[in-house]
Amino acid sequence: MSNKTDITVEEHLEIQHHVKTYINVFVALIVLTFITVAVSYLEVSFIEAFFLAVMIASVKGSLVLGFFMHLITEKQAIIWILVSTLIAFMILMFLPLVSMIDHTNTW
């Protein structure tokens, strides 16, 4: 039982170091949430607003992915799966759109 519940001092320190990172990320996410809301009140065109919003969301998303989900230290296999998912996702997002815009008699 004892070897199951005990951990070494180094491990303990390492986890506490991680916890600090988590708190920092948490603060950053909160700040970015307010920035997103604030940005939406700016008087900009739709395209600009869209890119701003998606960019901030992407930054937030990468923070969650990278630190909460540990993607920055994740193994090759998972990175490759996610890269191929991302490619498929991009195809799914843009190819229908592009072909719709290219339709001569639109919808």
Partner 1 sequence: MMVMRYQLAYPETPIPIVGWFFAESGGIMLPENYNTLGAMHGTIMIFLGVVPLAVGAFGNYLVPLQIGAPDMAFPKLNASSYWSYFIGGVIMLASFFTPEGAARSGWTSYPPLSIFESGQTMWLCGMIFLITSSLLGSMNIIVTIVQLRAPGLTWFKLPFFIWTQLITSFLLVLAFPPLEAASILQLMDRVAGTSFFLPSGLVYAGNAVEAYGSGSPLLWQHLFWFLAHPEVYVLILPAIGIVGEIIANNTRKPLWGYKSMIYAISFLGFMSFIVWAHHMFLTGMGQTMSAFFQLTTMIISIPSVVVLTAFFLSLWGGSIRFNTPMLFALSFLPMFGIGGLTGLPLGVAASDIFLHDTYYVIGHFHYVVAPGTLFALFAGIYYWFPKVTGKKLHEGLGKLHFWPSLLFMNGVFMPMFIQGLAGLSRRMYDGGTQYAHASDILQWNEFMTISAFCLGAAQIPFILNIFMTLASKATGERNPWDSTTIEWSSPSPPLPHVNFDEEVHVYHGPYEYSVPGKDKDFCPQTVK
Partner 2 sequence: MSSIPYILEERPDTGLNNSRLGIWIFIASEIMLFGGLFSAYVFLRFAAPEGDFDYWGSKLNVPMATFNTLMLITSSVTMIMSWASLRMKQFDKYKMYLGLTILCGLGFLVVKYIEYTSKFHHGIFPSSSTFMGIYFTLTGLHVLHILGGLLVLIYFWSPVGKRMYDEDPNLLANRIEVTGLYWHFVDLVWIFLFPILYLL
Residues lying near partner 1 in the complex (CB under 8 A): 77, 84-85, 87-88, 91-92, 95-96, 98-100, 102-105, 107
Q: Measuring CA to CA, which residue among 9, 30, 21 is closest to residue 72?
A: 21
- Quick one: which of 11, 44, 48, 72 contacts partner 2 (CB under 8 A)? 11
Nearest approach, Cβ of residue 105 and partner 1 (Å): 5
- From partner 2, partner 1, none, interface partner of 6 (C-beta below 5 to 8 A by class): partner 2
10 Rama sector, left if φ>0, alpha if ψ -120 to 50, beta otherwise: alpha
The count of other CB atoms within 10 Å of the CB of residue 59 is 14
What are the φ/ψ torsions at residue 6 (nearest 5 degrees)?
-90, 145
**Signed CA dihedral, 84, 57, 49, 105: sign only:** positive
80 touching partner 2, by CB under 8 A: no
Structural contact between residues 21 and 67, judged by C-beta atoms closer than 8 angstroms? yes
Q: Which residues bind partner 2 (CB under 8 A)?
A: 4-7, 11-12, 15-16, 18-19, 22-23, 25-26, 29-30, 33-34, 36-37, 39-40, 46, 49-50, 53-54, 56-57, 60-61, 64-65, 68-69, 75-78, 81-82, 85, 88-89, 92-93, 96-97, 100-101, 107
